[in-house]
Structure 1
Amino acid sequence: MKLILIRHGETEGNYKGLYQGIMDYPLSEEGNLQNLKVKSKLENINVNKVYYSALKRAKKTAEAIFDFSSSTICFEEVSSLNEINFGVWEGKDYKYISKNYSEQFQSFIDDFRTFEFPEGESFKDFYNRVCEGIKKIINASKEEDNIAIVAHGGTIKVILCMLLGFNYEGFYKFNVNHGCYSLITVYKDSAVLEFLNK
């Protein structure tokens, strides 16, 4: 099967450089344009199923790219595809966090794999949540399916790590851009990254 991994369009929070996990900023003007570009790139691909996170920016992106009135596409909201919960860091930028949460921020830098965001989610729980979600999606799909996943940068990086066998260590080895999609072919016991950020 083919997995088409789409990061939502840029939001106003992304533009301002804010930590944005479960906090939902609206799509920026640039984000809306990016979604239209992705729609154009995918117009010749027949998609059977579209799974999108429960956060508004992902659903708005899915609605901009795909026809929700289509009877040939199955649409499903999946909360396990949500971005990580940054807790009290939500809505704050790097400078603020590194200054006001300096000890915790250093712990995050030292080992993100074991870090739990203050009043938020641990990286391990986030990683496992996304992995379980994508396993269910794959198990419910057919070999010939083309499946679109509309989600977040962190979510997509977890999916790439899981399917390509990198585990936690590969998380920061990928940049997942707005306004692009990546494609993975999933086989029974392996997966191949066809391209990244097309």
Structure 2
Amino acid sequence: MKLILIRHGETEGNLNGIYQGIKDYPLSEEGKLQNLKLKSKLENINVDKVYYSTMERAKKTADAIFDFSSSAIYFEENLSFNEINFGLWDGKDYKYISKNYSEQFQSFIDDFKIFKFPEGESFKDFYNRVSEGIRKIIKVSKEEDNIAIVAHGGTIRVILCELLGFNYEGFYKFNISHGCYSLLTVCKDSAVLEFLNK
């Protein structure tokens, strides 16, 4: 099975250094261009299933790349692949957070794995949510399927960590670029990373 992991195009929030979890910002002009380039990169790959997060930035990216009117592709909006809920930090930038939540921010820096964002989601809950989501999809998919997941940087990091055996510790070992895709070959309980950020 081939697993194509797609990060949405750049948004206005990304452009301005905003913590962007469940809060949505529109795609920037650069993000729209990235999606068009990505469509071109993927045009020779036959995709059987497309799963995308419920966030508008992921939906808009999926819509720009794939033909939603095609009966040959199975489409599913999937809550499991939403970005982490940053709670009160959502929609704020680094400077604001480090100044107004200094102690909590230091706790996050000290050990992100046990941190829960104020009035948001814990990293552990986020990791488990995404992991369960990808495991369910692998379970119901065929060996010959080409599956695309259109989601977020954090979501894709979790999928890579889970399938490649890095667990929580590997989360910040991957840099996931906007408007790019990464490819995994998945066979039963093992996975091989073919390439990152193409």
Q: How high is the TM-score relative to the length of structure 2?
A: 0.99
SS at match of 1:68: coil
Aligned to 1:69: 69
Q: For 2:21 and 2:179, locate their aligned partners in 1 and report how far apart those are by CA, in whole Å.
A: 18
Q: Write the mapping of 1:180-195 to structure 2, written as runs, cut at 5 A.
A: 180-195=180-195
Find out whether 1:53 has 2:15 as its counterpart: no
Gaps of 5+ in 2: none
SS at match of 1:121: coil
Runs of 4+ in 1 over 4 A off after TM superposition: none
Q: For 1:138 and 1:19, locate their aligned partners in 2 and report how far apart those are by CA, in whole Å.
A: 30
Q: Write the mapping of 1:37-186 to structure 2, written as runs, cut at 5 A.
A: 37-186=37-186
Q: For 2:179 and 2:83, locate their aligned partners in 1 and report how far apart those are by CA, in whole Å.
A: 17
Find out whether 1:8 has 2:19 as its counterpart: no
Q: For 1:22 and 1:120, locate their aligned partners in 2 and report how far apart those are by CA, in whole Å.
A: 10
TM-aligned CA deviation for residue 179 of structure 1: 1.6
Q: For 1:59 and 1:131, locate their aligned partners in 2 and report how far apart those are by CA, in whole Å.
A: 20
Q: For 1:96 and 1:21, locate their aligned partners in 2 and report how far apart those are by CA, in whole Å.
A: 16
SS at match of 2:149: strand
Deviations 1:123-166 (A, max 9, x none): 00000000000011111100000000000000000000000000
TM-aligned CA deviation for residue 189 of structure 1: 2.2
**How many residue pairs are counted as aligned between the two chains?**
198
SS at match of 1:103: helix
SS at match of 1:178: coil
Find out whether 1:23 has 2:23 as its counterpart: yes
Gaps of 5+ in 1: none
Q: For 2:189 and 2:28, locate their aligned partners in 1 and report how far apart those are by CA, in whole Å.
A: 40
Q: For 1:19 and 1:10, locate their aligned partners in 2 and report how far apart those are by CA, in whole Å.
A: 13
Q: For 2:107 and 2:116, locate their aligned partners in 1 and report how far apart those are by CA, in whole Å.
A: 9
Q: Percent identity?
A: 84
Query: What letter corresponds to residue 91 of structure 2 in structure 1?
Result: G
Q: For 2:137 and 2:24, locate their aligned partners in 1 and report how far apart those are by CA, in whole Å.
A: 24
Q: For 2:157 and 2:15, locate their aligned partners in 1 and report how far apart those are by CA, in whole Å.
A: 20
Q: For 1:81 and 1:137, locate their aligned partners in 2 and report how far apart those are by CA, in whole Å.
A: 11
Deviations 1:39-78 (A, max 9, x none): 0000000000000001111000000000000010000000
SS at match of 2:150: strand
Q: For 1:63 and 1:179, locate their aligned partners in 2 and report how far apart those are by CA, in whole Å.
A: 13
